[in-house]
Amino acid sequence: MKSSTYKKLLLLAGMCYFLQGCKDEINLPSQDESIYDQIYMPQAVNGPVSKTLVMKEEEQSLIYGANVGGRGYPKSDIKVSFYLDADKLAAYNTANQTTLELPPAGSVVLSANDATIRKGALATEPLKLRIKTNGNNALKLFKNYLVPISISSDYKINANLQTTYYLLRSEPDISQYPDYDRSGWTVIGFSSQESSGEGPNNGRAIFAFDNNVNTFWHSQWTGNGAVLPHYITVDMGSVKMVHGCNFIQRQASGADGKANLMEIHYSKDNITWQKAADIQLQALQSLQKIWLPEFVEARYLKFVIVTNHSKEFSNMAEIGAF
């Protein structure tokens, strides 16, 4: 028993000696910790803030503000100013290969241009970016805007988080635009269809309008096969105001044959045609509802698949309009 106790004491003494030796070898360089004391916009931490707003009568808002990071709490008040940094627009578009614009004057307003991080606090009070989506001086529907909000201060600023980029877009409430009944629709044209290779209840163009997601239209692949572009033309039976179109890709895994870039054309008389939109679909099996950039009156619609996500042939489970 005494021997065991003696061994434990020796082990403990050895550990103390080892730890003491390690401690003596540590030699941290002196540094000015105040260099870490900087203010920043917390909304900028995760990159651009992207928001699609539903058009409403009432004003809508997003939050902005400033925080201070570093050691401890500020020992005095920190004054911060906020402003729409229009000079950042061109650089952002160049870096991201976009063509975004600033919002119309008066459509986006800062609730306050100045705020204070109080002594002993770490942030300003939350401020509101007030946004109009309806009426005069409002965001235009379906248009993408960039709103760069930057901070300035006598206090040191984290340059990487000095600006928050808000990407804004306004759309109508899609729940107010139900899908049109397609029971009276007629397929009046198509580039090709697979009449035999997909069985009796698949392949033909009519199966893109039968309210059954498990059936589908398929461009011809037997024989020589058809090549892109592929299209279907329908007669809706009467002139309607078309606000957008919806699509359900074939219910098969993978991207083969799933539409990517599409054109939507419209006509009232099946003689004079105009393009309504260039759209892009994802290689998904779920419903995709796409707004037209401008609402159009039409009786006839032509859906042209320009490119696919994979393969030369195309297929589609359901096509509709609202």
- Average per-residue pLDDT in the chain? 92
3-25, pLDDT tens digit by residue?
555 555 455 555 544 445 444 55
Instruction: Sketch the domain layout of the chain as residue ranges.
Output: 35-171, 186-321
Four-way CATH pick for 186-321: 2.60.120.260, 3.40.50.620, 1.20.1740.10, 3.30.70.100: 2.60.120.260
Main-chain phi, psi angles of 86, to 5 degrees? -60, -25
Q: Residues 273, 263: contact at Cβ < 8 Å? A: no
Residue 267, Cβ neighbours under 10 Å: how many? 17
* CA atoms of 35 and 20, how far apart (whole Å): 32
Averaged pLDDT for residues 105-124? 98
Averaged pLDDT for residues 52-80? 96
Please report the pLDDT score of residue 71 as a whole number. 86
* CA atoms of 161 and 143, how far apart (whole Å): 26
Type of residue at 3: S
The residues near 231 (Cβ < 8 Å, ≥ 6 apart) are: 189, 190, 191, 302, 303, 304, 305
The residues pairing with 165 across neighbouring beta strands, listed in sequence order, are 148
Please report the pLDDT score of residue 224 as a whole number. 86
Please report the pLDDT score of residue 17 as a whole number. 46
Check residue 254 and give left, alpha or beta (phi > 0: left; psi -120 to 50: alpha). Answer: left
Q: Residues 233, 301: contact at Cβ < 8 Å? A: yes
* CA atoms of 176 and 136, how far apart (whole Å): 22
Whether the pLDDT of residue 64 is over 50: the answer is: yes
Q: SS3 of 271, please?
A: coil
Q: In CATH terms, are 35-171 and 186-321 the same topology?
A: no
255-280, pLDDT tens digit by residue?
999 999 999 999 999 999 999 999 99
Residue 204's Cβ-count burial label (10 Å; 0-12, 13-18, 19+) is: buried
What CATH homologous superfamily does 35-171 map to? hypothetical protein (bacova_03559) (2.60.40.1740)
Check residue 111 and give left, alpha or beta (phi > 0: left; psi -120 to 50: alpha). Answer: alpha
Which residue shows structure tokens 């939109």? 277
Please report the pLDDT score of residue 264 as a whole number. 98
Whether the pLDDT of residue 199 is over 80: the answer is: yes
Whether the pLDDT of residue 122 is over 80: the answer is: yes
